[in-house]
Chain A
Amino acid sequence: MSRDQCNDLERLASLGSLARGLAHEMNTPLSAIVCNNDTIDTALRRIRERLDNPANQSEESFISEMKNLLGVVTDSLQTSRVASDRLRHFIRSLRDYSRIGDDAQSMADIREPIEMALLLVAHELRGRITVVKEFGDIPPMEFHKTQLSQVFLNLLMNSAQAIEGNGEIRIRTWKDGNTGYIAISDNGPGMSPEVQARLFEQGFTTKNANTGTGLGLPICLEIVEAHHGRIEIRSEVGKGATFTIVLPLAADSVESERTTNG
Chain B
Amino acid sequence: MDNPDYRPSILIVDDEEMVTSSLRNLFRLQTNYRTVTYTSPMEALADSSKDFFDLVVSDYLMPGMDGITFLGRFKEAQPQAMRILLTGYADKESAIRAINQVGLYQYVEKPWDNDSLLMSVKNALDKASLLRTLDTKIQELQAAQFSLMDFQRELIRTFI
Contacts and interface: CB of A to CB of B under 8 A. Distances in A.
A3 B114 CA distance: 50
A30 to B, nearest CB: 6
Nearest to A126: B61
B46 interface: no
B158 interface: no
Contacts of B18: 28-29, 32, 79, 82-83, 86
Interface string A30-51: 1110111011001100100000
B62 A28 contact: no
Given A30-B111, A72-B28, A35 B63 contact: no
B25 interface: yes
A35 B112 contact: yes
Given A27-B111, A28-B16, A28-B110, A39 B29 contact: yes
A69 B25 CA distance: 10
B89 A24 contact: yes
Contact of A32 (B22, B29, B64): B22
Contacts of A23: 89-90
Interface in A136-186: none
Contact of A72 (B25, B66, B88, B89): B25
Interface string B105-132: 0000011101000000000000000000
The dominant DSSP class at the B interface is helix
A72 B22 contact: no
Q: Which of A28, A29, A75 has the most CB of B within 10 A?
A: A28
Nearest to B110: A31
Contacts of B25: 36, 39, 72, 75-76, 79
Interface of B: 16-19, 21-26, 28-30, 61-64, 66, 88-90, 110-112, 114
Given A23-B89, A76-B25, 15 more contacts: A24-B89, A28-B16, A31-B111, A32-B18, A32-B21, A32-B22, A35-B23, A38-B114, A39-B25, A39-B30, A39-B114, A42-B30, A75-B21, A76-B22, A127-B61
